Amino acid sequence: MLLVIVVGKIGSALVHPDELEAPAYPFSEELMAGANADVAAPAAPAGPEPILAMLASADLGQGEKVFKKCASCHDVDKGGPNKTGPNLYGIVGANFAHRSDFSYSDGMANHGSAWGFEELNAFLYKPRDYIDGTKMSFGGLKKASDRAAVIAWLNTKSDSPLAFPDPAEAAAAVAPAEGDATAQ
């Protein structure tokens, strides 16, 4: 123990660090000024980004590719079987818990709405947050473009696909709502 103390004292006596003339890591003045400012905590995301304006131009091939994450639990063929999850043929526009031959969670069975584009967007973003008590263990699709592509592709898996909203009207409908949220 005495040896460690002696070596430490000798090392301190031999080394005399000088003050640097310039910082070792130069940063821009803006960055340094910003580093000293009070930084507000980032706002928690309010939910999924709107996708209505993206649907008409969504890449159906990308939607089919992204759906492969879902294919282990869901079938999309007309008359296809239920798997761990229900068959999703005709899901867009159908009621929640639309298959009478599948045992849904109470949260899904009692939701009482229809799978429109916005509902599917919110559900695919984070299923457990959208429907409390859902049996679906999938973590969700975080990229808006992936959700839009999957929803557009699922819409083709129907006897009567829904018409996509006009992209300009959908974008205009979102713009005032976003402006209101930032003004608060």
In the block, tokens 């799978």 appear at: 115
| Cα→Cα distances 124→66, 91, 160, Å | 12, 13, 22
Q: What is the pLDDT of residues 109-145, one digit of tens each?
A: 888 789 999 999 999 999 988 888 888 888 899 999 9
Mean pLDDT of the chain: 83
Are residues 143 and 124 in contact, defined by beta-carbon separation less than 8 angstroms?
Answer: no
pLDDT above 70 for 41: no
- Per-residue pLDDT at 84: 93
Please give the CATH number for the structural domain made up of 52-156. 1.10.760.10
pTM: 0.69
Joined tokens for residue 135: 């049996």
pLDDT band of residue 183 (cuts 50, 70, 90) is very low
DSSP code per residue over the chain: -HHHHHHHHHHHHH--PPPPSS-SS---HHHHHHHHS--PPPPPP-SPPP-HHHHTT--HHHHHHHHTTTTTT---STTPPP-SS---TT-TTSBTT--TTS---HHHHT---B--HHHHHHHHH-HHHHSTT-S--------HHHHHHHHHHHHHSSSSPPPPPPHHHHHHHHHHHHHHHHH-
* Residue spans per domain, the chain: 52-156
Q: What does the alpha-carbon distance between residue 51 and residue 157 come to, in Å, rounded to a whole number? A: 19
Q: What is the pLDDT of residues 48-83, one digit of tens each?
A: 898 999 999 999 999 999 999 999 999 999 999 999
Q: Which residues pair with 114 in a beta bridge?
A: 95
| Cα→Cα distances 26→23, 55, 62, 108, Å | 6, 46, 44, 56
